[in-house]
A and B are shown apart, each in its own frame.
Chain A
């Protein structure tokens, strides 16, 4: 019953009036960020990290605030999927398939309630799963040495492009680009200056927050200017909100299956929430055997993907916390947050700083209950906010990004660098190069080199140490498999036609 005792301690840490207040703020902001097309979980969390620092929040408080934002985004994404037929963020894409038809039939309220409940079921159960699985994985990961970690990083890079990217060379390039940028600055162990061009600003390396905000938020501005922010009028009215018990009962199975699939998709490195909701929807559709009304407004088609993407969000926390290897863009940003707070995720975290881990987990539970309340009875507030037009939203995002990054260091150099990353992000997105591996590369590059260095020191310069243990070899095989498999899988797993949207979208 160690786990329960730990959890109890976590609630003790995370359930003070101030943190509860932060959780409510975070959930509110997160739902808005998730609901607004063009602002997704990764850039939402990214622009708020510098602000959390500016507020001088301590580690637990920042974690509570930003995990609430993260979970809130996962709930919020469905609102614009259902009402506008525009996914608020990529994982909510599948929800448009049945959510929008339901809204057109005048059942927008029902769809919002069902998907809200499904989100709760998915994310609550996956947080329970996190409590059970994470300590187990941590105890295995305890035995990982340099060889295993190096292979694990390779696995993360190999699979991160995964099914969402169409070109393996491009996603591998993105990883190289990130790793290459991570090398800038003074080398940790030899203190040789690398790729600084003599510029003193670069001696400390590139701050990953600057890179993240640039790649995710600033690049969005260019995308919006290019598309002229085609504003989306809210055509659908939400009628009276009643709880559709019948539909909830009918879609219970769909929620449970969606949760299971999403949870697994979340744990796999590189798969993430988009794959979770995709798998959940496809599974439900095939179970119904074509007899269902999928695609025409079937409640199960709303419940399954929402349960799936929220479950994946919880599942994705597992590799991030226990191994320090994020499985998706948003968890990469969460990892950035932990690193800036001087918390190094990994198996040690569970023994060295249990109050952080369990406080975080407790705050996930708290966020879920707050979000259920916000997203079912109070969903109307967010429906109103959806009508914020891009010409107001984007300048605001820009200014918040600037002030946030500026308050970190107070230097215009970081701002210029952030703009440069914004331009880079725009070009990469136009060329269909995923940006998440770039972030992961910047985050993990130095550690990856460190593991290699330590391994080589122990083995006295013998590179074969990389394949010296069965776990390492297994991870290498998975990495190669994960890199090659999507090429074949892509032909088998054709994505269903997804509504064409004019709105730009970010990766999950």
Chain B
């Protein structure tokens, strides 16, 4: 039992080692001071290693992990957010924002109409606030359509 923290501790130990290796490879420039660019990251890696071993050896009680459905929901949310980050520039503000906020609303409470209205409303209202209230330079629609 108490598996999560064992895995977590192991991940921390491995990352600390990787970080140490990364610090080892830093190329020092011509300028040298007594510390150099490598020493402080190495200290951090060492401290992290000790923490990782500590977590590994004395794990906490198992956290309550969500069920499969919640995991799927969160995975979809993640995909939506990433897609939103990629589309907000080429597609303009309105459409990606409406889609993304409708999706998140639906994931929190699965009611289609309610989510659709949330998406549409938020996208228009926030656009007006950001563009005209706060004066941010946002594109409403895809560049191609705007000519």
Contacts and interface: CB of A to CB of B under 8 A. Distances in A.
Given A449-B35, A456-B35, A415 B85 contact: yes
B143 interface: no
A457 B34 contact: yes
B29 A430 contact: no
A406 to B, nearest CB: 7
Contact of B60 (A225, A432, A461): A432
Nearest to B53: A169
A179 to B, nearest CB: 5
A412 B104 contact: no
A249 B111 CA distance: 49
B40 interface: yes
Contacts of B105: 391-392, 394-395
Interface residues of B, number: 70
A151 to B, nearest CB: 15
Nearest to B123: A399
Interface in B101-147: 101-102, 104-109, 111, 114-115, 118-119, 122-123, 126, 130, 134-136, 138
Given A172-B51, A398-B100, A430 B82 contact: no
Interface string B56-86: 0010100101100010011001100110111
Nearest to A462: B34
A415 B88 contact: yes
A189 B106 CA distance: 49
Contacts of B28: 190, 192
Contacts of A399: 97, 100-101, 122-123, 126
Contacts of A460: 34
Nearest to A56: B135
B55 A169 contact: yes
A54 B134 CA distance: 8
Interface residues of A, number: 64
Interface in A381-431: 389-392, 394-396, 398-400, 402-403, 406-407, 412, 415-416, 419, 422-423, 426, 430-431
A432 B63 contact: yes
Interface stretch (A216-224, A291-299, A362-370): A216-224
Interface centre among B16, B107, B115 (most CB of A within 10 A): B107
Nearest to B76: A225
A229 B108 contact: yes
B109 A456 contact: no
B85 A395 contact: no
A226 B114 CA distance: 19
B29 to A, nearest CB: 5
Nearest to B32: A190
B51 A183 contact: no
B58 A169 contact: yes
Contact of A167 (B31, B55, B85): B55
Nearest to A222: B74
Interface centre among B23, B35, B52, B65 (most CB of A within 10 A): B35
Contact of B101 (A54, A172, A179, A395): A395
A170 interface: yes
Query: Which of B29, B50, B108 has most A Cβ within 10 Å?
Result: B108
B68 to A, nearest CB: 12
B14 interface: no
Contacts of B109: 228-229, 231, 389-391
Contacts of A39: none
Contact of B35 (A218, A407, A453): A453
A457 B33 contact: yes
A177 to B, nearest CB: 7
A337 to B, nearest CB: 17
A400 B133 CA distance: 14
B47 A402 contact: no
Interface string B2-27: 00110010001000100100110011
Contacts of A398: 81, 100-101, 104
B136 A183 contact: no
A190 B31 contact: yes
A228 B106 CA distance: 10
Nearest to A422: B81
Contacts of A416: 82, 85
Nearest to A433: B8
A190 B29 CA distance: 6
17 contacts: A170-B55, A173-B51, A179-B44, A190-B32, A194-B26, A195-B41, A225-B108, A226-B66, A389-B109, A391-B106, A395-B101, A395-B122, A400-B126, A406-B88, A432-B60, A448-B40, A456-B35
Interface of A: 51, 54-55, 166-170, 172-173, 176-177, 179-180, 183, 187, 189-195, 218, 221-222, 224-226, 228-229, 231, 389-392, 394-396, 398-400, 402-403, 406-407, 412, 415-416, 419, 422-423, 426, 430-432, 448-449, 452-453, 456-457, 460-461
Pick the 10 closest A-B CB pairs, nearest first: A169-B54, A395-B101, A415-B85, A173-B51, A461-B34, A176-B48, A192-B37, A391-B109, A229-B108, A456-B34
